[in-house]
């Protein structure tokens, strides 16, 4: 059994997400601000967190800038951005339609990249080269991250990953992997809530798992483990060198920390990502996860 390499802080509480209760997420958000969030992250890192996984939500730009300026991040602390911020684009789509949303997106990207797209007219060039647009968008989002040198991996949001799986859009997956590796020299990763299908798809398409991150739910009650807990556990043995990071280990706060930790301890995982909402919460969670890490390391050394 490999030791946990990645014990990551998740950003759900910081951006108003709770998989248990929307009302609770709003209450948590009310007592947080960027300064307090930085303290929570600091408490997490001093208790064993090795990185921060976050969506490119506007709040996170502020958090990252603050982390950078306050020198709160250790040398070996890594960032794992998840792209795109899907909920934001769904809202823009409701407001402005698909073309309006793409127009907004184009207005955000740099003038140079925009000029490339405008050569043959915006609509035509997007339609002819949607993968090209995706690359430009990813580059734009990554280039805005203030502490880019600390990026350990870049992950594709679950909505895009899971749509790509269903539509068998190999080109989206491949182009994402190549872009993150070649242009940004970071580890490409995928968030998915369909882990077994993800593994099957990579097998069928003969896509290599090596040096990939997969972030997906693993928890004692099988919450969001699709199509089943058993199937996801079985798929863990088929991912070769991919680093599987468990998310939703607390099933959105439904399970207690000990139940969560005991379940993931024997699994073939590279680590876990857990959202925390206060300094005390961060201390409890990451101390407990570090304990599992130590138990796993001992077994590995035997």
Residues binding another protein (CB under 8 A): 15-17, 19-23, 25-26, 87, 90-91, 93-100, 123-124, 126-131, 159, 162-163, 165-167, 169, 171-172, 193-194, 197, 221-229, 251-252, 254
**Which is closer to another protein, CB of 151 or CB of 172?**
172
For residue 241, give the 3-state DSSP assignment. coil
**Which is closer to another protein, CB of 7 or CB of 272?**
272
Distance separating alpha carbons of residues 278 and 13, to the nearest angstrom: 9
Distance of closest approach, residue 23 Cβ to another protein, in angstroms: 7
Distance of closest approach, residue 221 Cβ to another protein, in angstroms: 6
Distance of closest approach, residue 254 Cβ to another protein, in angstroms: 4
Distance separating alpha carbons of residues 47 and 282, to the nearest angstrom: 8
The separation between the first and the last C-alpha atoms of the chain, rounded to the nearest angstrom, is: 11
Burial class (CB in 10 A: 0-12, 13-18, 19+), 208: exposed
Distance of closest approach, residue 200 Cβ to another protein, in angstroms: 11
Residue that is written with structure tokens 């040198």 in the block: 149
Distance separating alpha carbons of residues 127 and 132, to the nearest angstrom: 10
Cβ contact 40:278 at 8 Å = yes
Distance of closest approach, residue 180 Cβ to another protein, in angstroms: 18
Distance of closest approach, residue 84 Cβ to another protein, in angstroms: 14
**Which is closer to another protein, CB of 130 or CB of 146?**
130
Which two three-digit tokens encode residue 62? Answer: 């502020």
**Which is closer to another protein, CB of 34 or CB of 221?**
221
Cβ contact 9:276 at 8 Å = yes
**Which is closer to another protein, CB of 92 or CB of 295?**
92
CA distances from 116 to 10, 91, 108 (A): 36, 27, 14
**Which is closer to another protein, CB of 74 or CB of 127?**
127
**Which is closer to another protein, CB of 225 or CB of 242?**
225
Distance of closest approach, residue 243 Cβ to another protein, in angstroms: 22
Burial class (CB in 10 A: 0-12, 13-18, 19+), 279: middle
Cβ contact 261:292 at 8 Å = yes
């Amino acid at each position: 059994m490999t030791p946990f390499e990645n014990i990551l802080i998740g950003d759900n509480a910081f951006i108003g997400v709770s998989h248990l209760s929307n009302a609770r997420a709003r209450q948590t958000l009310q007592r947080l601000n960027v300064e307090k969030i930085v303290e929570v992250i600091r408490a997490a890192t001093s208790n064993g967190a090795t990185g921060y996984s976050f969506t490119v939500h506007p709040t996170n730009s502020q958090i990252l800038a603050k982390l950078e300026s306050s020198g709160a991040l250790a040398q070996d602390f890594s960032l794992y951005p998840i792209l795109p911020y899907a909920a934001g684009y769904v809202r823009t789509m409701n407001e402005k339609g698909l073309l309006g949303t793409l127009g907004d997106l184009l207005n955000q990207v740099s003038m140079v990249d925009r000029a490339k797209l405008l050569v043959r007219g915006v609509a035509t060039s997007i339609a002819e080269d949607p993968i090209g647009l995706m690359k430009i968008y990813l580059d734009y989002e990554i280039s805005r991250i203030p502490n880019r040198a600390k990026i350990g991996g870049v992950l594709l949001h679950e909505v895009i990953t899971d749509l790509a799986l269903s539509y068998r859009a190999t080109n989206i997956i491949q182009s994402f992997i190549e872009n993150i590796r070649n242009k940004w020299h970071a580890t490409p990763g995928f968030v998915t809530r369909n882990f077994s299908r993800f593994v099957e798809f990579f097998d069928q398409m003969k896509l290599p798992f090596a040096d990939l991150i997969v972030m997906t739910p693993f928890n004692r009650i099988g919450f969001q483990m699709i199509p089943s807990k058993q199937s996801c556990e079985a798929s863990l043995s088929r991912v070769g060198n991919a680093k599987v990071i468990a998310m939703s280990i607390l099933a959105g706060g439904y399970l207690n920390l000990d139940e969560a930790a005991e379940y993931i301890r024997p699994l073939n995982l590279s680590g876990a990502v857990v959202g925390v909402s206060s300094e005390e919460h961060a201390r409890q969670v990451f101390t407990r996860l570090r304990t599992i890490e130590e138990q796993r390391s001992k077994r590995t050394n035997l």
